[in-house]
Amino acid sequence: MIFGWKIVVGSIIGFFGAAFGSVGGVGGGGIYVPLLTLIIGFDPKSSTAISKCMIMGAAASTVYYNIRLRHPTLSMPIIDYDLALLFQPMLMLGISIGVAFNVLFADWMVTILLLIIFLVTSTKAFFRGVAAWKKETLFKKEAARILAQTVNEETEEYIPLSSGPTNSRQEQVTIFENICWSELGLLLLVWGTFLALQITKNYTSNCSISYWVLNSLQIPVAVAVTMHEAINLYKGEKKIQSKGDEGTNWRALQLLSYCLIGILAGIVGGLLGLGGGFILGPLFLELGVPPQVSSATATFIMTFSASMSVIEYYLLKRFPVPYALYFSVVAIISALIGQKAVGKLIKILGRASLIIFILSFTIFVSAVSLGGTGIFNMIGKMERHEYMGFENLCKQD
């Protein structure tokens, strides 16, 4: 590994990319891939593989930071394990489908789709951030009015009210108590099963019978775990606590639509070569999940898919280990710093909407960087008169 100016510049950009990506819950792959390709000089396949290492490093450190934290308003972990269990199996199934589409679709098709999806999600996230900012402003004004009124009151009966909200939620718990072990066990079961199937598939011929059988076995695993969670939610035996009272009353059609959205998010993520965080983060906000919980849960889910990809890439020897380790360490450190810095800012300013604005900004920057790289490559292919149609799904690397 040669430590030159390219590594220094790449480290700085990667540092900020990981910090913003971890806070927004999107991973930062949209920044890492152009960085590794255009600045460091890796080929596209190596850039994608190292990018997954950075995403996994940043996600793992973020989960380590969040796993001890509590929900901002409810007595539950900041990571919503039931929400993760509803989406993670279908997301991983969708990613497998999306990877196949990635092989089939031409690069220019992927680039156009990426630009459309990223610009739409970035814009929607921005306007949701503006709405959240306005709501927080109203809350702050109301709190200031109540505080001023309370201070002016001479009666003692108002004094205990100031401590009420802080006592309604358990602030300090052990890590062991803050983890929902049964849900985590199911998530690990899905992860381990998918990983075993993917690794086994790598030792089969492309598009052979065994190849398609191993691919098909992912479907019953994902469907079984998701249906288990969905049925429990429908019966009221479980609830998406981060949605408050809304998380207790579920309709069958609503749960089915969420499962389909999970698959769609995975397909888009696999097709674009990114983690599901770019889709799940904005999606959870649309579902009414608080920004802190949305970011923490999206990152938690993304850790499973990213780690599975890293193990696969390592076994296939797709990336130089020294570079992957170095940039992963950069991502780990910057993600922790980003989480702590933004956490303090939210406490000082009282505005969780900062997370939404960071999410919107990160997606927009990713759209510009990945879209720009894709357009540049597309122009080059047009000048060289290369084939730009659909590819063969069964082509060998």
Q: Please provide the DSSP assignment of 147-178 as one string.
A: HHHHHH---GGGGGGGGHHHHSS-----TTTT
In a domain, 321, yes or no: yes
Give the CA distances from residue 233 to residues 29, 289, 310, in Å, rounded to whole numbers and listed in that order: 33, 16, 33
In a domain, 202, yes or no: yes
In a domain, 392, yes or no: no
Give 116-142 pLDDT, tens digit per residue: 888 888 898 899 889 889 888 888 888
The CA distance from 345 to 352, in Å, is: 9
Q: State the pLDDT at residue 161.
A: 39
Q: At what angle do helices 44-66 and 291-315 cross, to 10 degrees?
A: 140
DSSP state for residue 33 in the 8-state scheme = H
In a domain, 234, yes or no: yes
Lowest mean pLDDT among 185-199, 240-254, 329-343: 240-254
The CA distance from 194 to 59, in Å, is: 19
Which residues, at least 6 apart from 181, have a Cβ–Cβ distance to it below 8 Å? none
Total domain count, the chain: 1
Q: How many CB atoms lie within 10 A of CB 313?
A: 20
In a domain, 168, yes or no: no
The CA distance from 280 to 11, in Å, is: 27
In our burial notation (b when 16+ CB lie closer than 10 A, e otherwise), range 372-390 reads ebbeeebeeeeeeeeeeee
Instruction: Specify the amino acid at residue 70.
Output: R
Of 213-227, 276-290, 305-319, 370-384, the range with the highest mean pLDDT is: 213-227
The CA distance from 79 to 259, in Å, is: 19
Share of the chain above pLDDT 70, in %: 91
- Greater confidence, 109 or 159? 109
Residue pointed to by tokens 């069958």: 252
In a domain, 308, yes or no: yes
pLDDT at 111 over 90: no
In a domain, 173, yes or no: no
Are 319 and 313 contacting, i.e. CB atoms less than 8 angstroms apart?
Answer: yes
Mean pLDDT of 34-47: 82
Closest by CA to 261, choosing from 235, 287, 232, 295, is 287
pTM: 0.83
Residue pointed to by tokens 């308003």: 73
Distance of CA 269 to the CA centre of its chain: 10
Give the CA distances from residue 362 to residues 122, 138, 236, 357, 374, in Å, rounded to whole numbers and listed in that order: 8, 27, 37, 9, 18
Of 23-37, 231-245, 319-333, 355-369, the range with the highest mean pLDDT is: 319-333
Q: State the pLDDT at residue 169.
A: 47
Mean pLDDT of 215-219: 92
Distance of CA 314 to the CA centre of its chain: 22
pLDDT at 164 over 50: no
DSSP state for residue 75 in the 8-state scheme = S
Q: State the pLDDT at residue 168.
A: 44
In a domain, 86, yes or no: yes
Residue pointed to by tokens 């201070």: 151
Q: For the chain, how big is the Rg over CA atoms in Å? A: 22
Q: How far apart are the first and last CA of the chain?
A: 26
Mean of pLDDT over the chain: 82
Q: State the pLDDT at residue 325.
A: 93
Q: State the pLDDT at residue 381.
A: 83
pLDDT at 286 over 70: yes
Q: Which residues pair with 70 in a beta bridge?
A: 77
Q: State the pLDDT at residue 245.
A: 55
Give 46-102 pLDDT, tens digit per residue: 888 888 889 899 999 999 988 888 887 777 888 999 999 999 999 889 888 887 787
Give 190-210 pLDDT, tens digit per residue: 999 999 998 898 888 888 899
List the domain range (segments joined by +) for residue 309. 5-151+180-383
Closest by CA to 374, choosing from 117, 111, 112, 47, is 111
Are 133 and 353 contacting, i.e. CB atoms less than 8 angstroms apart?
Answer: yes
